[in-house]
Chain A
């Protein structure tokens, strides 16, 4: 299904124009899970009829579509603010109301096609057809990802003493490691504060022993009915221990494009039940890798925050996902293949290949974001040196402290120049944003999430395309 008609375009504009989907002046959104800005005025005019390519994975279109889809998917979850519904009851009524749901149902198929079609082209599906081939393929893939099966063929035990490497190490090596670690926790929060809600969509129905296997995993995720043991609860405790807000989507403005696409992918597959085989395989692959992954995350958090971090959430996953990796592999992935045969094996493989790609793209996005956000002073000097090299496409605007705040990405490298007053740049969720004064020019590489807020009663900003192609490193 495509968004090609005037009617559908109008529906997207109407969806974006809803009060709860428009930005307010706040950088962090507290106590209101229904306020979730899609973008600044004009966002609704976008055309999503041509699917984004892999090269456009971090485009402004993917960010906008990702926010809109997140709103759509979560409107069939029950979300209530911890401090009580009273102050936001009107927003609750609007978010779940007839009109927003009608618009949601109109725009969602076209946005899904825009956001996820690139997977069809970008993911070559290996020729895996039989149960034996599926087993060999899966074990080779997890081996390649650094988590080979142990001697018994099971998910390996966690190596708690493993050195911190990769992205976790990159966080610890930032000049501002706490901001970088916080940005990582915020990306996790997009899913973890509603943890297993997508999974819950696959609990109903009647599909044999695999259904009961998924339910057992769900029981763990939901803490066996004990609120204090629910994974989302211990995730909140982890956020609180390092001084981060625990309200759902308090950091809405700081979800990276790749994080939105990744979480939406699982909501998409569970919303459209034709995706169930892909989903089960994707979950299997992730659960297998999560045990060591969360052990590494815990080590990173302890290195950055020291004793004050409550990393029980990471410890819990480092333990329980050893079991989940084995359970999903033996009883979901192989179980579905045994029961339904070679007909479904290509779809199972597809789910794993999709997930591998989304993990790779997401990791690159996050690494590029922290590398840039950590060196805004360097990029301000780079901007000054490039100031004369900007294209003649300047857009100017005036900012005031109470103007609506939203973050976004540009599809080209941009030079942002402050021509009057002072401006705060938010490249991650910090209480100490990067301050630009009059005459400063900041280089913003394409795809890098940022938001601007006036730090003086009035500020004037000019943005131009930089004549460079990539500074993501």
Chain B
């Protein structure tokens, strides 16, 4: 059964679906909800930095360069209206018991390649777990 959530992009930029995590990647003027997992060894691409040409993400675990085009292909279907986004989640387990939550966390992948980031100097930004906006259909 298809599952849909509504999230407020002004408050949240990350969705946790069971063991999978998706983050909002801004690219070419669009916001996409993409899988936060490096295809090499599963590193968190949300904490990757852009390469100088801006076309690839450098994974923080092993420095693997992942093309933004490839990352875009992992995006979930999403319809946006202002800050409100309706997202279709992937099929879950049969019981529908997979926990789903939305949070806000530091996403380094959206910074310009040479921009300093808080996480590098002062540790991970606090993530607030969203209380609402999760709905099932």
Contact = CB atoms under 8 A, between A and B. Distances in A.
B42 interface: yes
Contacts of A224: 41-42
B73 interface: no
A323 B42 contact: no
B63 A220 contact: no
B61 to A, nearest CB: 5
Nearest to B121: A209
Interface in B24-74: 41-42, 60-63
Interface residues of B, number: 6
Interface in A142-190: none
Contacts of A46: none
Nearest to B120: A209
A326 B42 contact: no
A426 to B, nearest CB: 41
A327 B42 CA distance: 17
Nearest to B61: A216
Contacts of B63: 323, 326-327
A185 B61 CA distance: 29
A219 interface: yes
Contacts of A323: 62-63
A327 B62 contact: yes
Nearest to B64: A323
Nearest to B123: A212
Interface string A314-333: 00000010010011000000
A323 B65 CA distance: 13
Main secondary structure of the interface of A (DSSP, over half): helix
A320 B41 CA distance: 10
A84 to B, nearest CB: 30
Contacts of B61: 216, 219-220
Contacts of A216: 60-62
B112 to A, nearest CB: 21
Give the bracket for the number of chain A residues in contact with chain B: under 10
Interface string A216-252: 1001100010000000000000000000000000000
Interface string A283-324: 000000000000000000000000000000000000010010
Nearest to A324: B62
Of A220, A323, A326, chain B has the most CB atoms within 10 Å of the CB of A323
A465 B60 CA distance: 60
Contacts of A219: 61
B36 to A, nearest CB: 14
Nearest to A219: B61
A216 B63 CA distance: 11
Contacts of A320: 41, 62
Contacts of A326: 63
A313 B45 CA distance: 26
B54 to A, nearest CB: 21
A323 B63 CA distance: 8
A317 to B, nearest CB: 14
A29 to B, nearest CB: 35
A319 to B, nearest CB: 10
B33 to A, nearest CB: 23
Contacts of B41: 220, 224, 320
Of B41, B42, B60, chain A has the most CB atoms within 10 Å of the CB of B41
A470 B62 CA distance: 48
A49 B47 CA distance: 53
Contacts of B60: 216
B104 to A, nearest CB: 22
Contacts of B62: 216, 320, 323, 327
B39 to A, nearest CB: 14
A320 B43 CA distance: 14
B123 to A, nearest CB: 10
Nearest to A326: B63
Nearest to B43: A216
Nearest to A226: B42
A216 B41 CA distance: 11
A326 B61 CA distance: 12
A216 B47 CA distance: 13
A298 B131 CA distance: 51
B40 to A, nearest CB: 9
Interface in A241-273: none
A224 B41 CA distance: 9
Nearest to A331: B63
Nearest to B60: A216
Contacts of A220: 41, 61
Nearest to A223: B41
A389 to B, nearest CB: 60
A224 B37 CA distance: 12
Nearest to B62: A323
A220 B63 CA distance: 14
B85 to A, nearest CB: 30
Nearest to A212: B60
Nearest to A154: B63
A326 B58 CA distance: 14
A224 B62 CA distance: 13
Contacts of B42: 224
11 contacts: A216-B60, A216-B62, A219-B61, A220-B41, A220-B61, A320-B62, A323-B62, A323-B63, A326-B63, A327-B62, A327-B63
Interface of A: 216, 219-220, 224, 320, 323, 326-327
Interface of B: 41-42, 60-63
Nearest first, the 8 A-B pairs at minimum CB distance are A323-B62, A216-B61, A224-B42, A220-B41, A224-B41, A323-B63, A327-B62, A219-B61
